[in-house]
Structure 1
Amino acid sequence: MWLFSRKGPSGFSGRSTAEEVTQGIDGSGLTAIVTGASSGIGAETARVLALRGVHVVMAVRNMVAAKKVKEAIVKENPCARIDAMELDLSSMASVRKFASDFKSSSLPLNLLM
């Protein structure tokens, strides 16, 4: 386990948090699509990106869960720019609809996670 706590050349280790790694980064002007953002690491990724000013598009299967995550992010960060769009990666029809809807939004795409 010592490997995970030893800091590498970047100054971070396996125990570093997303907030620590992104400290001081200004993501305003960027747009990110985060898949699986209704729970787990996807939700945490969406939260930290929004905290850094990134416009986050949560791409999720479960819109009810996404709404709860979005509300929690906005409660913590009222200035957060965050949207939820339905996407089921196991369905090509859903992928096509998501892509079409995102393209129609005229948002740039800077990050895809």
Structure 2
Amino acid sequence: MLETFKYLIGSTGASGFGSKSTAEQVTENCRDLRSITAIITGATSGIGAETARVLAKRGARLVLPARNLKAAEEAKARIVSEFPGSEIVVMALDLSSLTSVRQFVAEFESLNLPLNLLM
């Protein structure tokens, strides 16, 4: 219980980061992620969108899977407007459908990209 309370008030853990750490702070020493491909679910809003923004800032190639492709394209546009050299692929994915998951996997594999991060 004490550990949970400490986390919630922002105390740092063994990693040096806590619940109040930002994505910018956590990736500060990862300045060049150009060799990294990250699939980020939930990248159209909230924590997922901020994670995508910061990884793009650090140079990572992003794959943004989403049910709502319009929202994903808008998220991509926001990121590219801030970081023009960003490489971002938007793909359809409905995690509630195994058929959709299989289609996503097949399409991702056809891109011949490495998968370094899945968030």
Tell me the residue number matched to 1:13.
18
**Shift, 1:47, TM fit:** 1.1
Residues 2, 64 of structure 1: alpha-carbon distance in 2 compared, 3 angstrom cutoff: same
2:20 aligned partner, one-letter code? R
1:88 aligned partner, one-letter code? D
Residues in 1 aligned to 2:94 and 2:46: alpha-carbon distance in whole angstroms: 17
Kindly report structure 1 stretches of 4+ aligned residues shifted beyond 4 Å: none
2:109 aligned partner, one-letter code? K
2:117 aligned partner, one-letter code? L
Residues in 1 aligned to 2:5 and 2:110: alpha-carbon distance in whole angstroms: 48
TM-score between the two structures when normalised by the length of structure 2: 0.87
Structure 1 residue aligned with 2:97, among 91, 94, 98?
Answer: 91
1:84 aligned partner, one-letter code? V
Gap regions ≥5 residues in structure 2: none
Residues in 1 aligned to 2:112 and 2:86: alpha-carbon distance in whole angstroms: 19
**Shift, 1:81, TM fit:** 1.2
**Shift, 1:105, TM fit:** 0.6
CA RMSD of aligned residues (A): 1.5
Residues in 1 aligned to 2:67 and 2:61: alpha-carbon distance in whole angstroms: 19
1:37 aligned partner, one-letter code? A
Tell me the residue number matched to 1:24.
29
Tell me the residue number matched to 2:54.
48
Residues in 2 aligned to 1:109 and 1:90: alpha-carbon distance in whole angstroms: 22
Identity of aligned residues (%): 54
**Count of aligned residue pairs for this structure pair:** 113
Residues in 2 aligned to 1:8 and 1:102: alpha-carbon distance in whole angstroms: 35
1:15-71 CA distances to partner (integer Å, 9 max, x unpaired)?
A: 110111100202111101111211222111111111111101001111111111111
1:70 aligned partner, one-letter code? K
TM-score between the two structures when normalised by the length of structure 1: 0.91
